[in-house]
Amino acid sequence: SQQGEEDPQALSIQEGENATMNCSYKTSINNLQWYRQNSGRGLVHLILIRSNEREKHSGRLRVTLDTSKKSSSLLITASRAADTASYFCATVFTGGGNKLTFGTGTQLKVEL
Amino acid sequence: GAGVSQSPSNKVTEKGKDVELRCDPISGHTALYWYRQRLGQGLEFLIYFQGNSAPDKSGLPSDRFSAERTGESVSTLTIQRTQQEDSAVYLCASSLVQGDQPQHFGDGTRLSIL
């Protein structure tokens, strides 16, 4: 089974609002990554957070990692219609080489 | 181009036929990965290449699936005797290996088995 579970499965917000997505995983990790996927396209890497980091920022993105709870969150501030996409968390787990284990994804819709 | 390139972008074939999917990684990326994404789901790992060898094939679902990589560059994923459950988007990614590195994805091949 996939390691990650994400919630919510779907999220609909108005432009300008913040969007928060959560991810949980099951085993020890080296790092956790967030990716965005627009419909019919490949995945675009957003941000990587290492297991010894607790928070990371990139532009309008803020990621937190709580290894004690085996969870992460992605916050998108001041959302735009162009942020509409599916968002996936993925982990590189300890001893798993470099492969990514993906969560089930959150479908974000940002309405004008 | 500078990104990961996959071909074909779409493939429709009859059950029982063999298919070959191609991936051209970013130049200089020694790591190459294949994933499968079923409709509305996350990605499932299939196989990982480091150079031309595959130290992790644990995600290949059956012996009908195989992959190779040559010249530390192009990779081909082959599915023999396709079944309807093979219908999915097959995504390729490449990365540098050193340290914590993001993976760069192609747009995938959408495979439909009739």
pLDDT per position as a tens digit, B84-108: 999 999 999 999 976 688 999 999 9
Q: How far is A38 from chain B (nearest CA, A)?
A: 10
What are the tens digits of pLDDT across the range B6-53?
Answer: 999 999 999 999 999 999 999 999 999 999 999 888 899 999 999 999
Asked if the Cβ–Cβ distance from A43 to B107 is below 8 Å, we say no
Average pLDDT over residues A77-91: 96
B55–A105 C-beta distance less than 8 A: no
Q: Listing from the earlier edge strand, what are the strands of the sheet with A71-76?
A: A5-7, A19-24, A71-76, A61-66, A55-58
The verdict on A23 touching B (C-beta cutoff 8 Å) is no
Q: Please give the pLDDT value at position A5.
A: 82
- pLDDT grade for B112, boundaries at 50, 70 and 90: very high
Burial of B44 (0-12, 13-18, 19+ CB in 10 A): middle
Q: Name the average pLDDT for chain B.
A: 94
Judge whether residue A109 has pLDDT over 80: yes
Please, what is the average pLDDT of chain A?
A: 93
Does the CA dihedral B42-B40-B11-B81 come out positive or negative? positive
Any CB–CB contact under 8 A between A31 and chain B? yes
Q: How far is B112 from chain A (nearest CA, A)?
A: 14
- Residue B39 has a pLDDT of 87
Within a 10 A sphere around the Cβ of A108, how many other Cβ atoms?
21
Average pLDDT, stretch A44-70? 97
pLDDT for A96 equals: 74
Tell me what pLDDT residue B13 has: 97
Residue A94 has what pLDDT? 83
Residue A68 contacts B, CB cutoff 8 Å: no
Chain B residues with CB-CB distance to A93 below 8 A: none
Looking up tokens 């994923």, which residue turns up?
A: B77
pLDDT at B42: 83
What average pLDDT does the segment B65-78 reach? 96
B31 neighbourhood in chain A, CB within 8 Å: 98
Confidence of residue A2 (pLDDT cuts 50, 70, 90): very low
Q: What pLDDT shows up at residue A1?
A: 45
Nearest-neighbour CA in chain A from B47: distance (Å): 8
Which of A30, A41, A98 is closest, CB to CB, to B107? A41
CA distance B15 to B24: 26
Residues B93 and B100 sit within 8 Å (Cβ to Cβ):
no
